[in-house]
C-alpha cells in the first residue's frame, strides 16, 4: 500500500508534465520500475527526447542484474521465472532477502506491487488534472522510507553495514551532479570495495591454536 501511495505522486506528476492519463497506468503495468518511470517522466516533461529518457531508464534498471543473480532459486523455472523477473523491484527483492520465507515473500510483495502501482498511478492521474503542483504533497518520500525500514534489521551485521553506508555516501555525493535515479546505480560501486571493508579477525581470537607437544611420561 505504501508503493500505491507513492504511485499516486507518479501519476499526478505524469499528467502535470503533459502526458495523457493512461500513460502512467500503462507504464506502471509494463515497466513496473518506479525510479526509471519517474526519471522517464522527468526527462520528457523537461522537453527531453523519449529515446534518451528510455535509455536513461534502462541504465537505472541495470541494478536489476545483481538482483537477479541474488535470487535465482526464488524465481523458479519456466513461465514462473519469466513472470517473476517482471515482478522484480526494490521492494520484492528486499522482502525476499530479509524474510525467513524468501520465495513467498518475493511473490506476495511482487504481485502486490503489480496491483497497487498502476491503480495508484490512475488515482494520481486524476489528482494531477486537478492539482497544479502535486509535489507539495511529498508522497515520493514514502518510497525511500519503506526501503529504509525494510533493510534496518540487516544493518545489524557489520559485514552488511559497512558497504551499505559506503554506498549511501556515494549516492548522496552523486545527487548534485547526476540525474535522478543514477546516484542509486552509482552506489553499487561500494561492492567493489567489499574486500577492503571486511573486518579482520582479532589477533588470537580466530587463530588456530598450535597443538602442544606431547609430554613424555616418566619411565620407571
CA-nearest of 142, 149, 148, 150 to 124 is 142
Query: Is pLDDT above 80 for 61?
Result: yes
Q: How many CA atoms lie within 13 A of 56 on its CB side?
A: 23
> 204 is written with which cell numbers?
588470537
What is the rounded CA–CA span in Å between residue 171 and residue 143?
16
Within a domain: 212: no
Evaluate whether 151 touches 140 at the Cβ level (below 8 Å).
Answer: no
Nearest Cα residue to 6 out of 102, 132, 144, 104: 144
| pLDDT score, position 22 | 92
Count of structural domains within the chain: 2
Domain-located, residue 61: yes
Q: Is residue 147 part of a domain?
A: yes
- Residues 192, 110 within the same domain: no
Tell me the average pLDDT of the chain.
78
In degrees rounded to 5, what are phi and psi of residue 61?
-75, 0
Lowest mean pLDDT among 25-29, 47-51, 103-107, 203-207: 203-207
Q: What is the arithmetic mean of pLDDT over 27-43?
A: 86
The residue among 79 and 23 whose pLDDT is bigger is 23
CA–chain centroid gap for 48, Å, is 25
Domain span at residue 93 reads 2-155
The answer to whether position 205 is within a domain reads no
CA distances from 120 to 52, 92, 108, 112, 125 (A): 26, 18, 18, 12, 9
Rounded mean pLDDT, 52-81: 82
Amino acid at each position: 500500500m505504501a508503493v500505491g501511495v507513492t504511485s499516486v505522486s507518479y501519476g499526478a506528476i505524469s499528467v502535470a508534465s503533459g502526458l495523457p492519463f493512461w500513460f502512467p497506468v500503462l507504464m506502471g503495468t509494463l515497466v513496473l520500475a518506479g525510479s526509471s518511470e519517474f526519471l522517464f517522466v522527468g526527462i520528457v516533461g523537461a522537453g527531453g527526447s523519449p529515446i534518451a529518457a528510455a535509455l536513461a531508464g534502462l541504465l537505472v534498471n541495470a541494478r536489476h542484474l545483481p538482483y537477479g543473480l541474488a535470487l535465482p532459486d526464488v524465481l523458479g523455472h519456466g513461465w514462473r521465472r519469466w513472470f517473476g523477473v517482471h515482478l522484480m523491484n526494490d521492494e520484492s527483492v528486499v522482502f525476499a532477502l530479509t524474510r525467513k520465507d524468501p520465495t513467498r515473500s518475493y511473490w506476495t510483495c511482487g504481485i502486490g506491487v503489480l496491483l497497487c502501482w498502476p491503480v495508484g498511478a490512475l488515482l494520481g492521474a486524476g489528482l494531477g488534472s486537478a492539482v497544479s503542483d502535486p509535489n507539495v504533497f511529498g508522497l515520493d518520500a514514502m518510497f525511500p522510507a519503506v526501503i529504509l525500514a525494510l533493510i534496518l534489521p540487516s544493518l545489524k551485521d557489520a559485514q552488511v553495514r559497512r558497504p551499505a553506508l559506503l554506498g549511501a555516501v556515494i549516492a548522496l555525493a552523486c545527487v548534485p551532479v547526476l540525474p535522478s535515479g543514477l546516484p542509486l546505480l552509482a552506489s553499487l560501486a561500494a561492492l567493489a570495495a567489499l574486500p577492503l571493508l571486511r573486518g579482520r579477525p582479532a589477533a588470537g581470537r580466530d587463530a588456530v591454536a598450535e597443538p602442544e607437544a606431547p609430554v613424555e611420561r616418566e619411565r620407571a
